[in-house]
Each structure stands twice: as structure tokens, then as C-alpha cells.
Amino acid sequence: MEETKKISLKKIDENRYVVERHGAMRVEGIVYINEELLGDLGKDESIRQVENVACLPGIVSASMAMPDIHWGYGFPIGGVAAFDAEEGVISPGGVGYDINCGVRLMRSVLGAREIGGKVNDIIDRLFINIPSGVGSHRKDLKLGRKDLERVLAKGAQWAVEQGYGTEDDVRFIEDNGQMPFADPGNVSERAYERGKDQLGTLGSGNHFIEVGRVAEIYDEKAAEAFGLFKDQVTVMIHSGSRGLGYQVCDDYIRQMIKASEKYGIHLPDRQLCCAPFDSPEGQRYFSAMAAAANYAFANRQMMTHWVRETFEQVFHAGAGKLGISLVYDVCHNIAKLEKHIVKGKESRLCVHRKGATRSFAPGDAAVPEGYRKIGQPVLIPGDMGRASYVLCGTERAMDETFGSTCHGAGRLMSRGEALRRTKGRSVQKELEERDVYVKAASRGTLGEEMPEAYKDVSKVVEVVHKAGISRLVAKIVPLGSIKG
């Protein structure tokens, strides 16, 4: 194996590198990356974080990272780690602050020619119909405590019961839009307060709603199964659990610091604070995290309803006639209790995906029946000016990564650096020159989220495709976006 000089990685093949066991590491580290993307890794401590995660009790097989890897809280963003459900731990740092930040893709029967000059109108109306930005909230939706408890317990199903979408939507959401084990009683009063008026809002940062066009089809059979065709108009929603999820994470980090000391868990980094998965502390966090994940499912479901209404307003036609339906909805930033084969034996694992996406194989019972011959849809968003991708899950992902793959492009520079580099520039005008119309809650958001702040998503996707942990299906290019 060939050794890189900048960081402690050794080359396995063209798309995988290993951090060999040393010191307190219980398993090796595996990074899915190629030589071209490798140069960016020396700019932060993300590989050190891969090593640190490998030191935690009960970790199985390897501490892994995807090609969109960059520095995060405790775990790297792009990190995947599975822990034995009986002997391992659960860590808020392995999930992240924006619990179940995720992506959903909607398709239509419209072609790019039919949408014509209406893109700007659609984006302007989306910006009015769906609040975005820091602290955004809905004035027309006030939830009482009991209502919010039902949201946390039922997720997208609650939204559908209130008239925000259909039962058909629920069939095409990971976990059917309702994570099990959720306990609203383990969510703090402060989290309830923050979440009571933010449901149905986009939020800030890298969250977006994007109208796009299918530019390329790589796998005709898979694309047909997913209902995608060349030049089709699509809508992608990227958002999460808003302030409620952030507060759940913040609350339990404090509890986990004490739990780590109580159970004598050595932490190479305090941000990896954790508790045994089956301990009272571990189960309380798991149930509160699941409740926040359900809030995120309901949040994206409600925005889906308003996307449909927006298209109805612009085209003066019903959503049914426009064929606006859900392809799929995937989670990022989540810990799940799953069964996987480890050393030839089925094991119950707590799989942490922090800035990573599930990539389940054809035939798996968790994949919607209509997609089961193809594999789970994998949705990989890009930045405002580049493409997004649809892939599908593979057997190799199940064998190597606990059914996981990348989740996006991955940041190259901090938000502060991006703002400095865009000083005196109009990112909005630059994007319009690329025929991408963007509306944002603030000019600063556009600066922070400029395309150059991210890795080229096509290069990230190329790694996971060539590594065989997900397979390319389609490429979607942006026509217009609303940003937080």
C-alpha cells in the first residue's frame, strides 16, 4: 500500500485509504476518498477525529468517513460508526446538532420547456410561502404542547393527518417518516419552546429548496423505477429539526459528559462524550433524538405541501395534474438501531451516520416495495451553482459501510472565510449568469454558501460510485433556489 505524506493514511485502492490501528484505537479507520480530494484533508483535524472515534467502546469493524469528510463536533462530518447494541455506546457527537437534517426529492410530469420563464415566479412564491432564515417561524401555525408531542411521536404521519400531503408520501420516506423509540417526554421544555413555531420552516445555513432539471440519466432502469426522465422538473428540499433538534443535542451533550465519567469511558476528545447504548442515559438520548428526527420528518412533509401549493398557484392546475410526487426522503445526522452481518453473524448495532446517508441494497425490507429490485434511492445535493445527484444503494455498501454512503459535497472553507472571499461580490448575480435564480433571507447567507465554499459534488459522487457503495442513477442541475 502506498503511504501519503501529509496525513497518516495508507492507500488501499483508488477510492479507499486506511488509518492503521495505533495507540488507543480499537479498530482501523477507513476513508473513502481518492487522490484528487485527498489534498483537502490536511486543512482540518477530520482524520484525527476518525482516529478518535475508533477509540470508543464497542465500535465494530472500522471508524469510517465518506469523501465529503470535514471537521465536525466530535465525529467528523461524513463519519460513519457502528457500535454493538449491548457493549457499545451512543454519542450525540456522532449524530450532530441538526438531528435528521435530510433531503427529499420530488418529481413532476413537467419538462424543462413547460416551466419556461416561470422559474423566477416559482422561486419568488416559494420564498413567500415557506419562511426561511435564522429564527424563521410561521405566523399562521401555532402548536399547543399536546400537538407538538404528537409531532414528536408521529413525525410525517402527523403532518399527513393534518392535511399536509398524502399516505402515499409516507411510503417513500425513510422509516415511513416515523422513527421508532421516540419519547416526547425526554425532550426538554426549552426544546419544546424553540420548536413550537418553527415547524414548516426552512431554517438557515446550507438548507434550501431547489427547483431543478434532470440533466443526465446514467441508469435507465433505476431512473424509470424512481420515476425520473431526461429534462424533467424536480424539487429538492434540504432541512432538518430546526431549533428543537439543536436544543436536544445541546441538552444531552451536558448529560453525556457526566455519563462518560460515571461509566469510566476514556474520551480522546471531550466532544465524543457518550454513554453505553443500553444504559438509562443512552436510552434517554436515543428516544429524544428519535423525537427530534420525527419533528424533522414532519417539517419536510409540511414544506412539501407548500411546494405543491406554490406550483398550483403558478400553473393554475392541481398538484395531481402536475404530477408532483415524492421520490424519496433520506436522513442525515442520525443514530439507528439496525441489524447487519458482522464476521458472518447477524448483529444488533447502533449505527451513527453524521453527515452520511443510508444506502440500502436491492431486496432489503427497509426499501419501499416499488424500489426493492433497484435499491434505496440515495439523494446527494450539491451547492447552489452545481449539480445534485440521485444514486441507489448496493450490496457492497451493506458489506462494507453498514449500508452507508456520502451525503453531499462537503465544505472546503469556513463560513467566515467564505464571507471574506465574497466581499464586494454579488453571488446572486454570479449565479444568475449561470441561469440559476436564487432568493435568500440575507446576503450573508449567499456569501457563506457560495459554490467555491464546497467541494465539487461530482467528484465526491464519483468516489462512492467507483467504490461501489452507491450507484449513479441521474444528475439534476439547478434552475432556482431559496436559501435560509
Terminal-to-terminal C-alpha distance of the chain:
44
How many CB atoms are closer than 10 A to CB 412?
Answer: 16
CB neighbour list of residue 171: distance below 8 Å, 6 or more residues apart: 368
The kind and range of the H/E element at 35 are helix 35-38
Extract the C-alpha cell encoding 30: 477507513
DSSP class of residue 272 equals G
Placement of cell 463519519 in the chain? 79
Q: Check if the beta carbon of residue 227 is closer than 8 Å to that of residue 325.
A: yes
Extract the C-alpha cell encoding 374: 433497484
Among candidate residues 332, 340, 352, 407, the one labeled active-site is 407
Return d(Cα 265, Cα 464) in angstroms, integer. 34
Return d(Cα 210, Cα 217) in angstroms, integer. 19
Residue 101: name the closest of 204, 172, 184 by CA. Answer: 204
How many CB atoms are closer than 10 A to CB 289?
Answer: 29
Question: Could you confirm whether 238 is annotated as catalytic?
Answer: no
Q: Check if the beta carbon of residue 391 is closer than 8 Å to that of residue 380.
A: yes
* Strand order across the 16-19 sheet: 10-13, 16-19, 28-32, 59-70, 77-84, 345-354, 334-342
Return d(Cα 481, Cα 139) in angstroms, integer. 23
Return d(Cα 257, Cα 273) in angstroms, integer. 5
Extract the C-alpha cell encoding 440: 435568500
CB neighbour list of residue 483: distance below 8 Å, 6 or more residues apart: 132, 207, 208, 384, 438, 439, 440, 441, 445, 446, 449
Q: How far is CA 360 from CA 104, 154, 370, 402, in A?
A: 16, 23, 14, 8
Instruction: Count CA atoms within 13 Å of residue 478 on its CB side.
Output: 28
Return d(Cα 82, Cα 89) in angstroms, integer. 9
How many CB atoms are closer than 10 A to CB 269?
Answer: 17
Active site residues: 407
